[in-house]
Structure 1
Amino acid sequence: MENRSVLIGLHGISGVGWKTIDLLVRSCSDLKDLLHWPAGEYGRLGIPAARIQRLIDELTPFKIEASLEMYERLGIRILTRFDPGYPRLLEETAQPPWVLYCRGRQEVLQRPALAVVGTRTPTAYGRKAARELSHALSAAGFVIVSGLARGIDAEAHRGAKDGAGGTAAVLGVPPDRIYPPEHARLHEEIIAGGGLVMSEYPLGTVPHPGLFPMRNRVIAGISLGVIVVEAAERSGSLITADMALEESRDVFAVPGPIHSPKSRGALSLIKQGAKMVTDPGDIYEEYSHLMSSLGGQTGVSAQSAFMPSPVQQLTEDEAILYRLLSSVPVPIDVLLEQTQFTFGHLHSVLISLLLKKVIAELPGSSYVSI
């Protein structure tokens, strides 16, 4: 049995956490010896008696093989710190995961990556900014990393999944679960599109809120930098940004309206020295030394690398109306005055734009672009 198999077995034992595994790896030059360790050897290291009993009961060749077969049956590939494909940047962090459970292409982890994170309840402006920025960066060849959560995370994955760089999702739940459940289709689209979905939590881990902040260190750890799109003053996204700073990663922030609570976290980061991002070129110039090797759309301007404008897909009247809208709500009476359309025609054009999902209707018959 290989040392990596023993490590996977250790990692799957309930109550045996990162520090215990670290202690055992440092204390035992050949992990296969652990299969025969008596209780006294574990006790000598100061491991509590209850945990020792679990190690003796669970760390057996039969149970390890059964676990490996289960992962293989579920189509989950395993990457350990003993494997040559383990991401170098993540290895350099203070607490790199011992094991990553993966679905999709692990090769994604070998390419330059940027994290895009933000609030779970974004504005139309935030959704559009995350989606278009992620699309442009992926088109340039960067892997876009996020957490498959609602809001900005999901928009980042959607924008990036079809680009040259693709996308990687880091789960806060075990690899056989999908959270939130409505992202099941996005989960499969990422994998089918050549991306990667991964988790450091073994099968059987009981999901709880504490897993998600720990997941954030992995998002920051595999990335060259973290881009915060929209975040409140107290936000998990700011935790990810703090973790990025602790690991000497770059931190970027997309500015938003000064009166929007969703923008306060990003604006605060900018005040503290994070680089402000208003177009992809702000990112490209930070990594100019990488651009020629990424294999993406590096010969275009920052602005033209954005997702093609929805205006290209609209009729003439739809394009006129779309250009009048932004992230700031515009009442229907203002649109009537600005377009000079009849009410009936304006209403039909609005319905068409809503069906094409390029605008959204807000309470009070106001409209925004998305």
Structure 2
Amino acid sequence: MNNRHLLFALHQLPGIGWKTIQRLVSRFETLDDMRTLEPREWTQFGFTPGRAGQMSSALRELSERTLEDWLARYEREGIRWLTVWDADYPALLKETADPPWIIYGKGDFSLSGRLCIALVGTRTPTVYGKLTAERLGESLANAGVCVVSGMARGIDSLSHEGALRGKGGTIAVLGCGLDTVYPPENKALFHRVAEQGLLLSEYPLGTLPRAGLFPQRNRIIAGLSVGVVVVEAALQSGSLITANLALDYSRDVFAIPGPIHSAKSQGTLKLIKDGAKMVTSPDDIMEEYASRIASEHSAYIKDTKETLGIMAEDERKIYELLESGPKTIDQLLGQSQFNFGHLHAVLINLLMMRRIVELPGSAYTIP
């Protein structure tokens, strides 16, 4: 067996983590040599005596037939796997400090070579967060960007939904094996991403979701992307882990401002105070990567209106109020009868769609 197949085989065995593989790869130029290790030698890799004996037996007894059976299962599931040694392993991900030794994918692997931007945020978004994630995902995808997220409830799922309506594609990085739909209510989204985008995981088939796997998943989201956008997040949100990882990887970090009284905006507001780029329009993101946008999408940089679609009912109501002339936010509150949070969400979406512009003194007008 060659190193690539032995790495795959190691990955199928329970209890083999990233650091164990690192130690084995560092010690053995040819991984086949590890199959001769005695149980007591396996204890040097952090295994208990009982588990060391199991590892020794499993690798000594590993046969070509067993390997073929494992490989056949992945093929039946339509899953492709890449090792960190493969030429078509995602280049940006390989640059990180701890890239997955193996990634498993179902769908269009070429998306990982596109300009990828991650959208992340709370699992329990406000109406404002929901609208923003979906619209931003769609706008970025229509500009040719591949939207990366983690298919969690809330902002992640909405970002994927928006991107699927665009044409740039989307990658969902899972915290479990590709044979598990999590959360269960995302079953339809799971299959749509597999058909129109890419499902990705570093975990072998049969791996069930558990809390400790999701922070590890976040490093892949950050590693695949040139930038991470935090859409809506509280101060303790796990999406801030992804933003911090992006900084560690020298990637760009963006944040969308929200109402100062909303707990769900405190994480993004802090990021902005700490130096993240504030986003009030997709152009705030796209201008950072203008030279990498494909020529067929260059018109987006000049005028995003062509990719915006139809305004929602509440957006049209505010737009029509502004047709008579500029108005302050207080005037809009009184005339629309919206509450502040909802009005703020509608205004942000109209700004992102470039249907309106903000004037000094918290006033708005049609350009």
TM (normalized to structure 2)?
A: 0.81
Write the deviation string for residues 191-221 of structure 1: whole angstroms up to 9, x where unpaired: 222x100111112324211111111111001
State how 1:1-370 maps to structure 2 within 5 Å: 1-39=1-39, 42=42, 48-59=48-59, 60-61=62-63, 62-193=65-196, 195-291=197-293, 294-301=294-301, 304=304, 308-311=308-311, 319-320=316-317
One-letter amino acid of the counterpart of residue 191, structure 1: A
* In 2: Cα distance, 1:104 partner to 1:270 partner: 35
* In 2: Cα distance, 1:247 partner to 1:302 partner: 30
Write the deviation string for residues 227-265 of structure 1: whole angstroms up to 9, x where unpaired: 000001110111111111111111000111111111111
Cα offset for 1:13? Answer: 1.1
Cα offset for 1:103? Answer: 0.7
Distance 1:2 1:265, change over 3 A: same
Residues 130 and 152, structure 1, Cα contact 8 Å, conserved in 2: yes
* In 1: Cα distance, 2:86 partner to 2:306 partner: 36
* In 2: Cα distance, 1:306 partner to 1:184 partner: 32
Distance 1:295 1:180, change over 3 A: farther
Give aligned pairs, total. 328
TM (normalized to structure 1)?
A: 0.81
Task: Note the aligned Cα RMSD (angstroms).
Answer: 2.9
Unaligned runs of 5+ in 2: 323-328, 339-367
Write the deviation string for residues 27-86 of structure 1: whole angstroms up to 9, x where unpaired: 111123334444465456665533432322333124332221221222221111121111
Distance 1:321 1:129, change over 3 A: closer
SS at match of 2:7: helix
Residues 280 and 305, structure 1, Cα contact 8 Å, conserved in 2: no
Distance 1:106 1:216, change over 3 A: same
* In 2: Cα distance, 1:263 partner to 1:244 partner: 20
Cα offset for 1:151? Answer: 0.8
One-letter amino acid of the counterpart of residue 136, structure 1: S
Distance 1:303 1:53, change over 3 A: farther
Unaligned runs of 5+ in 1: 338-370
Provide the identity percentage.
Answer: 48
SS at match of 1:300: helix
One-letter amino acid of the counterpart of residue 218, structure 1: I
Distance 1:203 1:300, change over 3 A: closer
SS at match of 1:220: helix
SS at match of 2:193: helix
